[in-house]
Amino acid sequence: MTKLSRDTITRLRGELLDWYDRSGRTLPWRIRPDDREAGRVADPYSVWLSEIMLQQTTVPHATPYWLRFLDRWPTVEALAAAPDDDVLTEWAGLGYYARARNLIACARQVAEQGGRFPDTLEGLKALPGIGDYTANAILAAAFDKPASVVDGNVERVMTRVFRIETPLPKAKKEITTIAAEIADPDRPGDYAQAIMDLGATICTPRSPACGICPWRPDCAAQKAGVQTDYPKKLAKKAKPVRRGIAWRIERGGQVWLRKRPETGLLGGMMEVPGSDWSIESPEADPPFEAEWEALPEVRHVFTHFTLMLEVRRADAPTGWEPGEGIWADLDRLEAYALPSVFRKVLVL
């Protein structure tokens, strides 16, 4: 385990916070030092919303969604009162739809408790969809309280600066211990956001900008010229491939969509009807007899598997009764809670 002297900790804190004051990102949900001087304070609702959106995507991708959510639902009470389908529709494109369901559940729980987010680690972790990292991030950014924030960016910085040879995920405990030692108790919110900014903008995975890094003098991996070798990672297992068929049924510029079950993968979202997804070659009877046109195969990568969808297209016959679902306008797909995988099916 890496041992840090008090002088080293003090120096690292100072160098990082000096850099952040000069060069940290300006984000719409972030309160920077000059904001506090002007009397502005963080809004826990907007910070929470940003952290949930950023769990599996980047700032440039998440920011337009965050702005739309805040424009449509400016308070946690407004979001709590929104119909599920409206929230899921706005979320479409951010992926990992279980997060959207937890977002709704969390908003409603907070609203029921008076509309105030807890300002303790235990209170935040008791809310739906908030784990240890997200709770620490909210605690630091929204309430400026001491917290140990360790995401992928922080892991990369720490493994490079201290040249940690243990591969991830085994190295997480050591990284978390070091990160907690360095975290500044006097400016916890700024420190947490500074270390994440350092990883996101300077200590990047492939081409780190070491020449302008405030921690360059202390970075063991940079001194050895092996910074891109870190973090070490265990070899990933190949993702299994599942296969299926999607039946793209059209009628006068519209396509038939149905709602997926409320639980399970993509729960409650809209879908193009199709077969089950399995490792075997797909076999399924079409919804009706027709000359089904074979369209290009769609490939979509989920967290735990890769999906290959055979796409078949036909016009609905006169009098066809499809059951529960809707006819959706092909030129207005953004109005529906449609996951990315089915958007791919509909843009072929």
Active site (catalytic) residues: 51
Contact (Cβ atoms closer than 8 angstroms) between residue 346 and residue 333: yes
Spell out a b/e string for 296-333, using b for 16 or more CB atoms within 10 Å of the CB, else e.
Answer: eebebeeeeeebebbbbbbebeeeeebeeeeebeeeeb
- What stretches of 185-339 show up as alpha helix (H) in DSSP? 188-197, 220-224
Residue showing tokens 């679902």: 325
Which residues have a Cβ under 8 Å from the Cβ of 106 and sit 6 or more positions away? 48, 52, 127, 128, 129, 130
Contact (Cβ atoms closer than 8 angstroms) between residue 218 and residue 161: yes
Residue showing tokens 């211990």: 177
Contact (Cβ atoms closer than 8 angstroms) between residue 263 and residue 203: no
Which residues have a Cβ under 8 Å from the Cβ of 122 and sit 6 or more positions away? none
